[in-house]
Amino acid sequence: MTFLVPFDGSALAEAALVRATEFASVFDEDVLAVSVVPDGNAEYARERDWLDPDAPFEMQSVVATLHTQVTELCPSADFRHVRVGTNAAPGTIAKRVRERAQREDVSMVFVGSDNAGHLVTEVSSIGGTIAAADAYDVVIVRDRTPARIARLADASPRRDPKSDFYYPDSAARDDDDSSGPDDDP
């Protein structure tokens, strides 16, 4: 089984990735970070610090930025990205994460969200939509304390890097619902 973390580079996504890594070390599970990237949406990418303010949108650059963030926090994690349309709604993004969770047969999803666990969630909440699925257990991470994240990341026993799970040219080969050179089971 695998622990999946929807990863957008936010402080809460980072916290969720670190928590998943800690759980994975105890349960001897793999960690998979999944980033959903609206293709060509430079504004969306800039809002999330995936692109420099004046840089043009390049999928390979965006994916490399996300991949770097993931491996800095959890070098042993697998990383996948999924492309969606330029103006994909939050529901589409959440659906792609749920599809990936199903494809990977995950046992737990770690969601970094301020409101995913509240009884009432915003209509635009991606975390709430992912947390509503019943095919896996959900861990909601609300504590984004950076110092604690750095301490946990440094203390993680799963620091062995994977050197072959991301190929920079794979961004050019991906289609809208696939995101890696070895997606097929």
* Per-residue pLDDT of the chain in tens (185 residues, 90 and over written 9): 899 999 999 999 999 999 999 899 888 999 999 999 999 999 999 999 999 999 999 999 999 999 999 999 999 999 999 999 999 988 898 889 989 999 998 999 998 876 554 443 443 444 555 555 556 677 888 876 644 555 555 555 555 555 444 545 544 444 444 444 444 43
Instruction: Indicate whether 169 belongs to any domain.
Output: no
The token pair at 116 is 């995913």
Q: Quick check: is 165 in a domain?
A: no
Torsion angle, CA of 176/61/9/92, rounded to 10 degrees?
A: -20
Number of domains making up the chain: 1
**Cβ neighbours of 4 (radius 10 Å):** 28
Which residues have CB under 8 Å from 119's CB, separation 6+?
Answer: none
* CATH code where residue 137 lies: 3.40.50.620
Tell me, yes or no, whether 93 lies in a domain.
yes
For residue 117, the enclosing domain spans 2-153
Residue in 136, 121, 32, 140 with CA at minimum distance from that of residue 76 = 32
In a domain, 160, yes or no: no
Q: Please count the residues of the chain.
A: 185
